[in-house]
Amino acid sequence: MPKTRIGHRREDVVPEAPHGNFIQVADRRIGSGEPVFIIAEIGINHNGSIDNALEMIDVAANAGCDAVKFQKRTPNVCVPEHQKSTIRETPWGTMTYLEYKERIEFGLDEFQTISEHAQKRNILWFASPWDLESVDFLESLDVCCFKVASACLTDGPLLDAINETGKPILLSTGMSTMDEIEAAVRRLRGSQLALAQATSTYPARPDQLNLRVIQSLASKFGVPVGYSGHETGLPTTVAAVALGATFIERHITLDRAMWGTDQAASIEPAGLSALVRHIRAVEKAMGDGIKRVYPEELPIREKLRVVSEMSE
């Protein structure tokens, strides 16, 4: 059922988060106090191979991720006219850029296979639609939520179409100003919305990640905020959890040497397993903020504590 939108809002008013500090994605909650929701982005790193895609789902499930994410495009719509006939060298031979994008794009049969395999492995799956036709396509498969790529944050009609599905929305904020983010949040008013701090360079340098924006977005908008990382390595992603990220998204690959522009900023299987372990360890280590003496400390306290008069 389409949502009723409020078309005349003061530009300086930040909309409230209608669902409080969490959103519900299938049987998982994303928000403060909940386990970090870990997304392995397969994207287009499968290179058009369903076998690669299924193996990557297995990698994510074995590592303990909550979900895998793909991308969905209608190439003839998404590829700019001036790029369609550009010649590209690919592992499958010389072809136009449009032919290349069509070559790696999954259709209904592949996504149905993905859906069945993900269900078998007890892991959620969803995708980022890049055009209106792709929104309808994914909705026909009843995805659990939608991801809006940073590049699409200012695409009003696309945001409207996704919002009308009534599904939860994860919105990445790479290459976006705060004004642009506010406008997108206003447009998506009434949705179950979560934001992700992101930097749209591949790979991103540590000094470009600006992880404290996670806290800034949470304070300003009152919605769950996560982190979509494109850096190499794991420590900065783990640091995002310590700064309050409620969900984490990282690109994954079977081998960083594979063909594709996203492979260099992706994590291989062993790295993904390590990342999930580190995130779960940090979750436990964060505690509740109440200072206490643990029973295991008492013998050490008895042995080592120096007690003397303390002056004010």
How far apart (Å, rounded) are the C-alpha atoms in residues 245 and 238?
9
**pLDDT over 90, % of the chain:** 88
Query: Has residue 113 got a pLDDT over 70?
Result: yes
Give pLDDT, residue 250. 98
Query: Going by DSSP bridges, is the β-strand pair 93-96/169-172 parallel, antiparallel, or unpaired?
Result: unpaired
How far apart (Å, rounded) are the C-alpha atoms in residues 135 and 165?
9
Q: How far is CA 6 from CA 19, 185, 187, in A?
A: 17, 12, 8
pLDDT digits (tens, 9 = 90+) for 121-167: 999 999 999 999 999 999 999 999 999 999 999 999 999 999 999 99
Within 13 A of 295's CA, how many CA atoms are on the CB side? 0
Question: Confidence band (pLDDT; 50, 70, 90) for 7?
Answer: very low
Give pLDDT, residue 261. 85
How far apart (Å, rounded) are the C-alpha atoms in residues 24 and 307?
51
Give pLDDT, residue 87. 97
Phi/psi at 174 (5° precision): -60, 150
pLDDT digits (tens, 9 = 90+) for 235-255: 999 999 999 999 999 999 999
- 198 forms bridges with which residues in the sheet? 228
Yes or no: say if 3 and 163 are a contact pair by the CB < 8 Å rule: yes
Give pLDDT, residue 21. 85
What are the strands, taking DSSP E only, across 60-185?
A: 67-72, 87-90, 93-96, 124-129, 146-148, 169-172
Give pLDDT, residue 2. 36
Q: What is the mean pLDDT of the chain?
A: 92
Q: Which fold has domain 22-304?
A: TIM Barrel (3.20.20)
> How many C-beta atoms lie closer than 10 Å to residue 142's C-beta?
9
Task: Enumerate residues 6+ apart whose C-beta is below 8 A from 65.
Answer: 38, 39, 40, 123, 272, 276
**pLDDT over 70, % of the chain:** 93
Give pLDDT, residue 15. 40
pLDDT digits (tens, 9 = 90+) for 73-95: 999 999 999 999 999 999 999 99
Give pLDDT, residue 14. 40
Give pLDDT, residue 308. 86
Could you state, in order of their start, the residue ranges of all structural domains in the chain? 22-304
Give pLDDT, residue 170. 98
Give pLDDT, residue 20. 53
Torsion (CA) 169, 173, 176, 182 in degrees, nearest 10:
50
Give pLDDT, residue 221. 96
Cα 220 to its chain centre, rounded Å, is 20
Amino acid at 110: E
Question: Confidence band (pLDDT; 50, 70, 90) for 223?
Answer: very high
Question: Confidence band (pLDDT; 50, 70, 90) for 312?
Answer: low
What are the strands, taking DSSP E only, across the chain?
A: 22-25, 28-31, 37-43, 67-72, 87-90, 93-96, 124-129, 146-148, 169-172, 193-198, 225-229, 247-251
Query: Has residue 5 got a pLDDT over 70?
Result: no
Mapping DSSP onto H, E and C, the string for 207-253 reads HHCCCCHHHHHHHHHCCCEEEEECECCCHHHHHHHHCCCCEEEEEEC
- To the nearest 10 degrees (0 to 180), the angle between helices 156-164 and 132-140 is 20
Tell me which residue of 303, 288, 251 sits closest to 41, measured CA to CA.
Answer: 251
The model's pTM is 0.90
Give pLDDT, residue 91. 93
pLDDT digits (tens, 9 = 90+) for 256-298: 999 888 898 899 999 999 999 999 999 999 999 999 999 999 9
Query: Has residue 18 got a pLDDT over 50?
Result: no
